[in-house]
Structure 1
């Protein structure tokens, strides 16, 4: 009896719903006479959809990240928010950096506080901008006891903005 079941399976046609062509995949290529606005299913550009931040101003960005850093409760959240903030093609405002430094202090993560300044150094265009950030954040750095990498390792000259 079991051999009859095997014969029935082998006698079935090879096509199944997994391999049947779908109706939408058999579309023909758009004719030349069609409208120019008709989109080809094989477009070389993709439609970019984001989560609603495509029209965000710098002030809205700063306010959003200050709020994010104010609600940080652990090191993972702090580092994730820092990665997200520094991923944009801009340098975070001093207000965002202040909130990030306070969050690093709150979760007791000194190395990340030092790395925040390394991130700023990497994002700014020149030494003068970096010095302006340092000058504006100097009182907070002194209050929190955060040293710069240059101060921790004075003999290290691999940084582009290192001053001897």
Structure 2
């Protein structure tokens, strides 16, 4: 009886150690890739993956989700490859969401204008070639149903960000 019990305890401990090791490697996989890969190899990985002719919508979403998980703003070459992949699978909504995600990753409003402006400037020929508009050109950069009420709204800096600080009646 004690021999059977000891073997079950040993197998249980071994399985716990194995599951802990697997979870640790999953948690640190992105960090390891960023430390081991130079920037050009990182970019090449995503460009090659997104430029495959047989790529489908699920794989494009997987690649863009993985790219978004890294704490980097993608190079314009990677953005162009992603836009071409989105166009190949005919997913315009994903294109817009990808561009919005890049804009959000650019940081505060001042940095966002500089960095995202640079990226848009670099990818402009590709946008024109593919017939893609950025969210600002479509009017999607401001909320559609945003009605500020100064006595209720708790985040006053949004007034300035959306241009409501210049309209009469919205002073605070």
Superimposed CA distance per residue, residues 84-119 of structure 1 (whole angstroms, 9 cap, x where no aligned partner):
111111111111111101111111111111112111
TM-score normalized by the length of structure 2:
0.62
TM-superposed deviation, 1:147: 1.3
Q: Structure 1: how far apart are the matches of 2:55 and 2:70?
A: 23
Cα RMSD over matched residues? 3.6
Give the 5 Å matches for 1:1-150.
Answer: 16-17=4-5, 21-22=9-10, 50=29, 53=33, 54-71=35-52, 73-125=55-107, 126=111, 127-150=113-136
Report the CA distance shift for 1:89/1:75 in structure 2 as closer, same or farther (over 3 A): same
TM-superposed deviation, 1:162: 6.8
Superimposed CA distance per residue, residues 17-44 of structure 1 (whole angstroms, 9 cap, x where no aligned partner):
3885449x7xxxxxxxxxxxxxxxxxxx
Q: Structure 2: how far apart are the matches of 1:123 and 1:155?
A: 15
Structure 2 portions without partners, runs of 5+: 14-23, 147-157, 165-172
Query: The residue matched to 1:132 in structure 2 has which SS?
Result: helix
Residues 118 and 149, structure 1, Cα contact 8 Å, conserved in 2:
yes
Larger CA deviation: 136-145 vs 60-69: 136-145
Structure 1 portions without partners, runs of 5+: 1-12, 26-45
Query: The residue matched to 2:5 in structure 1 has which SS?
Result: coil
TM-score normalized by the length of structure 1:
0.65
Please identify which structure carries the higher helix content.
Answer: 2
Report the CA distance shift for 1:62/1:162 in structure 2 as closer, same or farther (over 3 A): farther
Q: Structure 1: how far apart are the matches of 2:141 and 2:73?
A: 27
Residues 135 and 141, structure 2, Cα contact 8 Å, conserved in 1:
no
Superimposed CA distance per residue, residues 25-78 of structure 1 (whole angstroms, 9 cap, x where no aligned partner):
7xxxxxxxxxxxxxxxxxxxx688649734111111001100010125211100
